[in-house]
């Protein structure tokens, strides 16, 4: 079943229980505090936070070190946005 609403919480790491490959196949866009973000590692809409990589540091597993930032999180599917832009023209 496909829905037009992105998941409340989503993680880019495939080992996470919040990873959803089907959502990533559709393409996810994130607007955080009104600004487009392209480097979000994980987000949660209901709790109002995103995890963003900080610098070039890596953890012991080779993943980017991240920090949690609080604010307004607005996820959207890229394929739906492309459809609305096409309709507007």
- pLDDT of the residue at 63: 86
- With 0.95 as the threshold, say if the pTM is over it: no
Domain residue spans in the chain?
A: 9-88
Separation of CA 46 from chain center:
13
Strands (E), the chain: 9-11, 28-32, 35-37, 42-44, 49-58, 64-70, 73-77
Q: How far apart are CA 35 and CA 31, in angstroms?
A: 5
Query: How confident is the model over 41-77, as pLDDT tens digits?
Result: 999 999 999 999 999 999 998 888 999 999 999 999 9
Residues in the chain: 89
pLDDT at 89 over 70: no
């Amino acid at each position: 079943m496909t829905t037009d609403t992105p998941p409340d919480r989503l993680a880019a790491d495939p080992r996470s229980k919040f990873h959803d490959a089907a959502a990533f196949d559709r393409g996810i866009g994130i607007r955080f505090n009104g600004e487009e973000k392209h480097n979000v590692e994980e987000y949660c809409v209901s709790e109002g936070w995103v995890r963003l990589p900080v610098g070039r540091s890596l953890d012991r597993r080779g993943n980017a070190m991240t920090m949690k930032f609080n604010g307004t999180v607005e996820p959207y599917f890229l394929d739906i946005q492309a459809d609305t832009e096409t309709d507007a023209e």
